[in-house]
Structure 1
Amino acid sequence: MKAGIFTLDTGLYKAKKESAATAALKRMLEQVGFEVKAAGVLPEDKKVLSVVLERLSDTGAVDLILTTGAVGVEESDCAPDVVADISDRLLPGIPEAVRAYNLRYSKRAILDRSAAGIRNNTLLVNLPGKAKAAKESLEFILPELVHVVEMLRK
């Protein structure tokens, strides 16, 4: 199984800094057998994100793409819009479950607009931007993500 992980943060991107969230998610995916083929920080830009996700999905380079950040209510929060726009099928249960899980920690989880979908047998999932929240969210849904990826690879 192959994966890509991208943190959406224009400030980190411009400063050429790494993301704690990307590093944490990479370790978690590798522990369950994923090979992370692409990872890094991208600007909060719809066109850039669309091109990256489409290219990785359409070429079969990865089976799973996780994004962190850019899932809120600010105009630059584009990750859910991109996933909704480019997916062949949406999987609303994944972000609904993550929001419900995160409500235990903060009422601000109601402001999360994360999305999940499938494009050309690649699973796309938005996660929160904070490293701790992204890690805890992935821990909660990881067995189901592995199951979906295995189903899509048949």
Structure 2
Amino acid sequence: MGAERDLLDQGAFSLSRWISISGVVPARLERARAPARLRSRPIRTAILTVSTSVSRREREDLSGPALAAAADAAGCEVLAMEVVPDDFALIEDRLHHFVGEGYDLVFTTGGTGLTPNDITPEATLAVIDREAPGFAEQMRAEGLKYTPMGILTRGVSGIAGQTLIVNFPGSPKAIDQLFPVLAPTLKHVVRTLRGDSSHHESDRAG
């Protein structure tokens, strides 16, 4: 509990605090949980927004909810949404936390650009055991279809334990454009990380 309090004091805040500030998560989570009760093993998913200005409440978090909505639509159960500033130790800590808690998927948004404060990829690389570069590579390729600036995102993707971590840009528009690249693979990815590499008809997104 002391560690959690330290994180809150340094600018990180959890789902319950995010709900109290924004008021928009409960309905979305309720929609996600309803079908999850019918599934034996839901795809447990965490969303981490990396933004100093959002963590200070100077700016509204738009990309986190957009990422949660996209994950929900792909059949994931979004159980955690957190915000941290652009701080290497805090990003790394929360990623380790989600992995330790057994989340299947962790999606980050923000901190993937070229400024000195954009350190989400570096913090992610410090956590993962193995890179899974195809996700990030295909997202960059897809981004180039919309803007030449798509090549500037430095997001990475990889596996820590049985958890897939993927970095998204800090833009709701980019998330809407890029998430469909991942969506069809997620159910099979989770089954594989759980030890079942066979293909199933039910692995398709939706």
Q: Is the TM-score greater than 0.5?
A: yes
Query: Contact between 1:18 and 1:40, CA under 8 Å: does it hold in 2?
Result: no
Identity %: 34
Aligned to 1:30: 72
**Which of structures 1 and 2 has the larger relative contact order (alpha carbons within 8 angstroms, sep 6+)?**
1
Aligned to 1:13: 55
Query: Contact between 1:21 and 1:135, CA under 8 Å: does it hold in 2?
Result: no
- When normalised by structure 2's length, the TM-score is 0.70
Query: Contact between 1:58 and 1:119, CA under 8 Å: does it hold in 2?
Result: no
Q: Does 1:3 align with 2:59?
A: no
Aligned to 1:19, the other structure's residue is in SS state coil
Query: Contact between 1:54 and 1:86, CA under 8 Å: does it hold in 2?
Result: yes
Q: 2:127 aligns with which of 86, 92, 98?
A: 86
Q: Does 1:42 align with 2:80?
A: no
Task: Point out the structure with max Rg over C-alpha.
Answer: 2
* Greater strand fraction, Structure 1 or Structure 2: 1
Q: Structure 1 residue 17: deviation in Å?
A: 5.3
Q: Which whole-Å deviations, capped at 9, do the CAs of 1:17-72 have from their partners, x for residues lacking one?
A: 54221112212222232211111321111100100000110231x11000011001
Aligned to 2:185: 144
Q: Does 1:68 align with 2:109?
A: yes
- Moved >3 Å (runs of 4+): none
Unaligned runs of 5+ in 1: none
- 1: CA distance between counterparts of 2:63 and 2:189? 22
- 1: CA distance between counterparts of 2:74 and 2:109? 19
Counting matched residue pairs gives 153
Q: Residue type of the partner of 2:70?
A: M
Q: Residue type of the partner of 2:108?
A: T
Q: Structure 1 residue 145: deviation in Å?
A: 2.8
Q: Residue type of the partner of 2:71?
A: L
- 2: CA distance between counterparts of 1:74 and 1:145? 30
- What is the Cα-based RMSD across aligned positions, in Å? 1.4
Aligned to 1:98: 139
Aligned to 2:126, the other structure's residue is in SS state helix
Q: 2:174 aligns with which of 127, 130, 133?
A: 133
Q: Residue type of the partner of 2:62?
A: A
Q: Does 1:107 align with 2:118?
A: no
Aligned to 1:48, the other structure's residue is in SS state helix
Aligned to 2:96, the other structure's residue is in SS state helix
- 1: CA distance between counterparts of 2:175 and 2:49? 10
- 1: CA distance between counterparts of 2:151 and 2:73? 30
Unaligned runs of 5+ in 2: 1-42, 196-206
